[in-house]
A = this chain, B = another copy of it.
């Protein structure tokens, strides 16, 4: 590496390389508009499709469907279909999904704590005209 020789910043163990890609992919999935809100909603227990939809309110059926499908594919939630009429589909967090809640909430709390700093920066940027 280039080593720009700076000591003021903790040299965090170089998260580039292939690892970084997985992290980025995870962040992209989690950062998708609805992933986090769905995951945290499911943190309180299993919910069915319409329950999630009603609870979140502003999400479209399509986005709820695709978000849940992707979370399912990645192993964060399970999908249980009860083929009655009308059909009933329940979504539950997997162990992996529950495990994710930890670091997710850490980042969430950071965001809440530092939200004003971001706002201030944006305000300043707006004033300067960036």
| A interface residues, Cβ below 8 angstroms from B | 1-6, 8-12, 14-16, 19-20, 22-33, 36-37, 40-41, 43-47, 51, 55, 69, 72-76, 93, 96, 98-108, 110-112, 114-115, 117-118, 120-122, 124-125, 130
Contact = CB atoms under 8 A, between A and B. Distances in A.
Contact of A31 (B28, B98, B121, B124): B28
B24 A37 contact: yes
Contact of A121 (B46, B74, B107, B118): B74
Secondary structure at chain A's binding surface: helix, strand, loop or mixed? helix
A45 B121 contact: no
B105 A110 contact: no
A29 to B, nearest CB: 8
